[in-house]
Structure 1
């Protein structure tokens, strides 16, 4: 029996936005990045931690240890829905590569059950591990926060070179991948930024990108964790705010959508 263990903070059934069909999304704890706009701040630290209940505000804990078997058994409860809709299991986070062996074991177990697999990842991991894990993955969500490595590191804590290398590899290998740019005010939202992203993508033969306008959906979670939300006074963006930004990519023959 599989005894590999990891730390998760949620299992969400009947997800329809985390890959094709109806899915069960397993959220892993731990992330090497510290994006100020993160909508899952409870995912950043690896270990379980205190967090108030969202409804009752009673003290509680987010994060619990689970085995691969425990999670796969939970995921398999909805097998009928996967088969009807073309869905399956999605691993999200946090950053799934922060628990590499656990994530890999989960994906292998899902494939052994015949499930469609998807991941949401920052792609910040050693290239060899990226190659190793995605052989068990049918669908990839990833994003690039900035084209400039120093600005990337200043804002989120890590450089972007590994991320770009891994994203390029996934495209080159014709993986089914959705590349996204979280468009953040005063960070990467200018037309000059769009031009730089487009030039980079052209050089890598990347021909599609999804724009994610900045939102504040995770703000309340910071209060529940007793943390300060750095983006509190930053105005949310909407697709209509980014039509000119989108057009820059289109002018570079990159399919750009929301």
Structure 2
């Protein structure tokens, strides 16, 4: 597959693997995490975003939509995702740029060309390219072709993954990468489901397989208030990581960087009033992993 649905290419990233990196964000994710900082990544197709503060309520977008996907209700523009085909007629018609979109198809050669622009920085910093999302493995044929092209150029390639992928697909793709940045969100399957809408058995199975294969895997825990941020949660997660043979773990403190996106997507945000966490808030949490012999860092 020569084209993939992506929503961003972020250059000079320093948080998505070692060194200076270019991060390619794919649309599509099987999880629906309540705290997701990229909610625009969850659906695998083009989405229309609406900024109420810019809207002059001319309703031009409603009139021009060829599929009747937009309506004006309660002084807001609403987009019916089931009717919207991503033609962007409404976006182009909006006189105030109140409508924008997330998601576009890009060809592999174009993405590789963009990544190669910073190859010197990768080499100087031991960096490279990271495939992210959404779920980095959500478009397997496209990802496989893209990674092979990048590897042909001698580039270190990492992937951010939820691990919630059918084993055959996961195993086929995981072996291609130099590093798996592997999300581990909860040790308890039912609690995992409450926060993400999926259970964790498949995730743990894939994590175990990757470690057993000798692939470089870095488990990463997003520490979320009222979900997995208690010291008891830390103990449960440390026990899980020990059981699969992990040696290192990175903590990702909860932040509110994605809050505005929910408003633009006309979606409720369940963690709206939660305070962000910082390293100093999680010293005791971190110490539990360290005491269990895990190299735990932020």
Runs of 4+ displaced beyond 6 Å:
53-56
The residue aligned with 1:124 is: 164
The residue aligned with 1:47 is: 45
Shift of 1:57: 5.7
Shift of 1:214: 1.3
Shift of 1:175: 2.2
- Distance in 1, matches of 2:161 and 2:111, equals 19
Matched residue count:
256
- Distance in 1, matches of 2:122 and 2:252, equals 27
The residue aligned with 2:182 is: 142
Q: Deviations over 1:87-136 (max 9, x none)?
A: 22111101022111111111111111221111111111012211111222
Unaligned runs of 5+ in 2: 55-95
Shift in alpha-carbon separation, 1:57–1:35, aligned structure 2, 3 A: farther
The answer to whether the 8 A contact 2:207-2:244 is kept is: no
Unaligned runs of 5+ in 1: none
- Distance in 2, matches of 1:45 and 1:115, equals 29
Matched, 1:197 2:197: no
- Distance in 1, matches of 2:139 and 2:176, equals 15
Matched, 1:99 2:139: yes
- TM-score in terms of structure 1 length: 0.92
Please tell me the root mean square deviation across aligned C-alpha atoms, in Å.
Answer: 1.9
Structure ID, larger Rg: 2
Q: What are the equivalent positions in structure 2 for 1:150-165 lying under 5 Å apart? A: 150-165=190-205
- Distance in 1, matches of 2:8 and 2:157, equals 17
- Distance in 1, matches of 2:45 and 2:32, equals 16
- Distance in 1, matches of 2:100 and 2:131, equals 24
The answer to whether the 8 A contact 2:223-2:251 is kept is: yes
- TM-score in terms of structure 2 length: 0.81
- Distance in 1, matches of 2:234 and 2:20, equals 33
The partner residue of 2:116 within 46, 62, 76 is 76
